[in-house]
A and B are shown apart, each in its own frame.
Chain A
């Protein structure tokens, strides 16, 4: 199967051209956030307080990397399901894509379709390969959360598969 290339931040037309099952190499900048950062972003959206980053058109990578000397040395995806409570609100507020592993709740499918978004699966357990595709990592917010802080990862040819496309089609076995 051929690889398609896509860049982040995301263009809605480029997302619309992708279908579930497409293999994609992603290049550009994504933000990392997992459980603790999601809770904070979600609360900020609910309270109407300022977000630490603009979410418009962005991709959120569900990861808590291993770092050595400031660089990620293993950085595969974490289970997306744990972010399902927060994800619809994030998509509704401009997030274009999320990257994680595992199937999503119905509410997330609905939010993806409603917003023309997308969900990419990274391969859970392939942390070393993914770290190799991260060219730089910059701490953006919530440093006190350690590995759960928000980082900006500049990635190059990050190997993904379209798990839920903007039409709500998915690759998961049901």
Chain B
């Protein structure tokens, strides 16, 4: 049994929020590769700006993008951990409040009915899973909404088959067009219930770009869908070009005999992500 305090957790999340100032190494590498393969002049312009911007942001600790997102936090809590001093979710919110406030990251969160801003980017969206062991893993994903707004959920039925699944993914990306700041990472969740499919899709955004699924069938689908999406020609910023998706990441979960849910959750070109273990 290990005891973690509210303060330890809040401090940890506060530090993780600094991820808003840096794209992940695998994102930077994928963007450089996209640039090297690009032939469309306007897309090259966009990719050059984005590569330069990532450098400027990293060196000076500035937010890569002004949309520092809604803070999505995945907490994998070992079942032998005891937390004292307050609730886990409150501690995470405290870390978000302080991290965003200290660094000048944007307060983008508001009440959906009266549209009054909470002023400190809280609450976070926290997903808690209970795992083995006596540690707490926290993963911070500041999720921008240019891309989040392009999410799609399809409640297909079994007769749609795998080709139906693939068509939905391509259709969602095509409908998103220039809006989600391509080149993007496409997270896909297949199966489960409506909300489980979307959570699986979101979890795919935590993977290193280009890391293939360990499931051979899903890995094949990822490759095929990356090709089909890039054949759409949307390109960086929608200016046209060779790379619309940096990667497609697919996860699955068992589903009901009546169902074939497909969720698509899109990540923009600025993948910002950090995790820590307490």
Which A74-108 residues sit within 8 Å CB-CB of chain B?
74-76, 78-79, 81, 101-103
* Contact yes or no, A161 B65, CB < 8 A: no
**CB contact between B68 and one of A36, A66, A72, A103 (< 8 Å): that residue:** A66
Question: Beta-carbon contacts of A116-128 to B below 8 Å, as 1s and 0s?
Answer: 0000010111111
* Contact yes or no, B181 A125, CB < 8 A: yes
Q: Taking CB as reference atom, which chain A residue is nearest B40?
A: A173
Which A residues lie within 8 Å of B214 (CB)?
none
Question: Beta-carbon contacts of B88-115 to A below 8 Å, as 1s and 0s?
Answer: 0000000000000001111110000001
| B45 on the A face (CB < 8 A) | yes
Question: Beta-carbon contacts of A59-71 to B below 8 Å, as 1s and 0s?
Answer: 0000111111100
Given the interface pairs A73-B62, A126-B53, A173-B233, the reply to whether A103 lies near B106 with Cβ below 8 Å is no
Q: How far is the CB of A146 from chain B (nearest CB, A)?
A: 5
* Contact yes or no, B104 A79, CB < 8 A: no
Q: How far is the CB of A65 from chain B (nearest CB, A)?
A: 5
Cα–Cα, bound, A101→B146 (Å): 10
* Contact yes or no, A23 B62, CB < 8 A: no
* Contact yes or no, A128 B60, CB < 8 A: yes
* Contact yes or no, A102 B115, CB < 8 A: no
Given the interface pairs A68-B103, A129-B52, the reply to whether A76 lies near B65 with Cβ below 8 Å is yes
* Contact yes or no, B56 A129, CB < 8 A: yes
Cα–Cα, bound, A78→B179 (Å): 9
Q: How far is the CB of B257 from chain A (nearest CB, A)?
A: 39
| A1 on the B face (CB < 8 A) | yes
Q: Taking CB as reference atom, which chain B residue is nearest A68?
A: B104
Cα–Cα, bound, A124→B177 (Å): 13
Which B residues lie within 8 Å of A68 (CB)?
103-104
Which B residues lie within 8 Å of A78 (CB)?
66-67, 146
Q: Which of B122-130, B161-169, B236-244 lies at the binding interface? A: B236-244
Q: How far is the CB of B47 from chain A (nearest CB, A)?
A: 9
* Contact yes or no, B237 A123, CB < 8 A: yes
Question: Beta-carbon contacts of B27-70 to A below 8 Å, as 1s and 0s?
Answer: 00000000000000110011001101100110010111111100
Question: Beta-carbon contacts of A129-154 to B below 8 Å, as 1s and 0s?
Answer: 10110000000000001111000000
Cα–Cα, bound, A131→B42 (Å): 22
Given the interface pairs A101-B178, A102-B238, the reply to whether A125 lies near B103 with Cβ below 8 Å is no
Which B residues lie within 8 Å of A148 (CB)?
117
Q: Taking CB as reference atom, which chain A residue is nearest B48?
A: A123
| B268 on the A face (CB < 8 A) | yes
Interface size class of A (residues with CB under 8 A): 35 or more
* Contact yes or no, A73 B56, CB < 8 A: no
* Contact yes or no, A124 B146, CB < 8 A: yes
- Interface hub of A74, A81, A159 (most chain B Cβ within 10 A): A74
Question: Beta-carbon contacts of A32-70 to B below 8 Å, as 1s and 0s?
Answer: 000010000000000000000000000000011111110
Question: Beta-carbon contacts of A152-174 to B below 8 Å, as 1s and 0s?
Answer: 00000001010000000001110
Cα–Cα, bound, A123→B237 (Å): 7
| B270 on the A face (CB < 8 A) | yes
Cα–Cα, bound, A72→B63 (Å): 10
* Contact yes or no, A101 B181, CB < 8 A: yes
* Contact yes or no, A124 B56, CB < 8 A: no
Which A residues lie within 8 Å of B3 (CB)?
none
Q: Taking CB as reference atom, which chain A residue is nearest B235?
A: A173
| B149 on the A face (CB < 8 A) | yes
* Contact yes or no, A128 B64, CB < 8 A: yes
* Contact yes or no, A171 B42, CB < 8 A: yes
- Beyond contacts A128-B60, A146-B117: 13 other A-B pairs, Cβ-Cβ < 8 A, are A64-B108, A66-B105, A102-B177, A102-B238, A121-B237, A123-B53, A124-B269, A127-B67, A128-B56, A129-B56, A131-B62, A172-B178, A173-B233
User: Which B residues fall within an 8 A CB radius of A?
Assistant: 41-42, 45-46, 49-50, 52-53, 56-57, 60, 62-68, 103-108, 115, 117, 119, 146, 149, 177-179, 181, 233-235, 237-241, 268-270
User: Which A residues fall within an 8 A CB radius of B?
Assistant: 1, 21, 23, 36, 63-69, 72-76, 78-79, 81, 101-103, 121, 123-129, 131-132, 145-148, 159, 161, 171-173
